[in-house]
């Protein structure tokens, strides 16, 4: 009996990370079934229904934004009731693609590891990302936000994996796939564009000045990044959109608030990343010892400076261009670069300081790190717990019922021209919800009424529908 229990405990310890990763993803999969289109989704559908696909692309590029990939994917009638099943399945697809992307990254970092260990590492990174990403609802459950930002995160991880492969072995096929990924990625959002450009400039500079040689496959990839970035950044629509914002381009306030956002990010995002870095380092330390690691592991302070520049730059340019702190959906992008950068920094620190194997000599440093991690975790998000509550307390289910009733009410009463709704009573944490405004002139109210050919829709506590 004791032998059976011991074997069970050993087996659980061996598979704990995989089981934790799978069970952490499960509530996000379940809650997907209660997802409904809203807000910008109706606006995009209206534009493509009126102007057609190519007409919509022309309008966006010359009048609103250079996000050519995002606008192309979003130019569809996803809010049509017969396509709602795709709206519900899409977050699940994104979750699967995120795990796959992290697996591709682990596969390039640790070539000699077996597939199960790589799956374990990819699920560990997924668990970390889902746990404390700034706003899960805008990351996975809002069609417009998920395409623009979360798809960009997935493509970023895939691109890093493809480029790491190019650093080890030149391949025209790999370079082609990397170039295609870049083309799609640079047309999704400006934050990813900026971060990716800085990231690869650092890699290119390091390899050139350290190794004194040029990898022409990498030069080609860098050229594609710059060309696609130029198409997106210098789109006429970007200039028109930014010119309408009178609060932009204040250097002092942009620097001040960006530094504050950067500091708060360090405080709230570092804790779990530190603990997960210990787990990951424990899995890969043998590879590092045998030098089966393709990136440099020295000068962890320099790596910290590099990724800090990337994080600060995304905050700064976002504030400078918009005149306000970047929204949560954009911080989801910054968070991805943060966890990749901080985990790499910690791994380099553990390797160079040998702190985990010589605790006695490094006691003060370790106590400081653990204390800081505890404070950080106390201020961080708890997305997994809240998503479980959405399912367990039926917040998501009841929201789904309300949204279905609203849709039925809209279809049955559209002949009236003006519809009045009561505010949503059920607002789940994990699912994106943007209720109707009390002002019928609100842009999202107008998009909804325009799609359903109504005169107006409005929220009011004075009427029951």
pLDDT tens for residues 44-96? 998 999 999 999 999 999 998 899 999 999 998 888 888 888 889 999 999 99
Burial class (CB in 10 A: 0-12, 13-18, 19+), 11: exposed
Say what the pLDDT of residue 19 is: 81
Residue with the two structure tokens 């606008």: 71
CB neighbours of 454 closer than 8 A, spacing ≥ 6?
A: 410, 414, 417, 418, 419, 448
pLDDT of residue 97: 96
Q: What is the CA radius of gyration of the chain?
A: 24
pLDDT score recorded for residue 361:
47
The pTM of this model reads 0.89
Tell me how far apart the alpha carbons of residues 335 and 383 are, in angstroms, rounded to a whole number.
14
Give the Å distances, CA to CA, from 203 to 163, 295, 330.
Answer: 10, 10, 24
Structure tokens at 66: 């250079």
Better pLDDT: 246 or 351: 351
What are φ and ψ of residue 370, in 5° steps?
-65, -40
Half-sphere exposure of 31 (CA within 13 A, CB side): 32
Rounded CA-CA distance 48/60 in Å is: 11
pLDDT digits (tens, 9 = 90+) for 407-447: 888 888 887 878 888 888 888 989 988 888 888 888 888 88
Distance of alpha carbon 220 from alpha carbon 460, whole angstroms: 57
66 contacts 184 by C-beta, under 8 angstroms: no
> Which residues on adjacent β-strands are paired with residue 458?
420
């Amino acid at each position: 009996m004791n032998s059976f229990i011991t074997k069970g405990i050993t087996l659980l310890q061996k598979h704990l990370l995989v089981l934790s990763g799978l069970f952490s993803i499960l509530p996000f999969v379940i809650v997907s079934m209660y997802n409904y289109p809203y807000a910008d989704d109706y606006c995009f559908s209206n534009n493509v229904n009126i102007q057609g696909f190519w007409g919509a692309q022309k309008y966006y590029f010359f009048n609103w934004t250079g996000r050519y990939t995002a606008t192309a994917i979003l130019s569809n009638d996803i809010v049509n009731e017969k396509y709602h099943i795709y709206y519900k399945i899409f977050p699940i697809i994104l979750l699967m693609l995120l795990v796959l992307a992290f697996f591709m990254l682990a596969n390039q970092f640790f070539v000699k590891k077996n597939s199960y260990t790589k799956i374990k590492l990819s699920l560990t990174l997924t668990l970390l990302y889902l746990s404390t990403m700034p706003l899960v609802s805008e990351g996975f459950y809002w069609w417009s936000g998920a395409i623009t930002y979360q798809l960009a995160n997935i493509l970023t991880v895939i691109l890093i994996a493809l480029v790491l492969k190019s650093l080890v072995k030149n391949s025209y096929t790999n370079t082609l796939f990397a170039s295609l990924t870049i083309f799609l990625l640079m047309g999704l959002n400006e934050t990813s564009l900026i971060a990716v450009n800085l990231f690869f400039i650092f890699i290119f500079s390091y390899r050139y000045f350290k190794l004194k040689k040029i990898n022409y496959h990498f030069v080609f990839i860098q050229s594609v990044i710059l060309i696609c970035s130029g198409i997106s950044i210098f789109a006429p629509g970007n200039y028109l959109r930014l010119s309408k914002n009178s609060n932009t381009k204040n250097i002092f306030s942009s620097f001040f608030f960006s530094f504050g956002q950067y500091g708060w990010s360090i405080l709230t995002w570092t804790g779990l990343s530190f603990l997960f870095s210990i787990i990951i380092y424990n899995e890969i330390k043998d590879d590092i010892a045998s030098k089966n690691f393709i990136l440099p592991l020295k000068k962890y302070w320099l790596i910290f400076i590099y990724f800090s520049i990337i994080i600060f730059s995304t905050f700064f340019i976002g504030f400078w261009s918009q005149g306000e702190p970047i929204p949560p959906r954009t911080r989801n992008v910054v968070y991805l670069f943060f966890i990749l950068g901080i985990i790499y920094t910690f791994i380099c620190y553990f390797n160079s300081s040998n702190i985990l194997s010589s605790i006695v000599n490094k006691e003060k440093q370790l106590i400081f790190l653990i204390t800081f991690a505890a404070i950080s975790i106390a201020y961080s998000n708890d997305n997994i717990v809240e998503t479980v509550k959405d399912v367990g307390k039926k917040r998501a289910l009841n929201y789904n019922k309300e949204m279905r009733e609203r849709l039925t009410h809209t279809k049955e009463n559209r002949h009236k021209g003006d519809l009045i709704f009561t505010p949503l009573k059920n607002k789940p944490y994990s699912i994106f919800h943007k209720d109707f405004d009390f002002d019928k002139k609100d842009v999202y109210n107008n998009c909804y009424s325009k799609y359903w050919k109504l005169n107006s829709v409005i929220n009011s506590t004075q009427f029951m529908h």
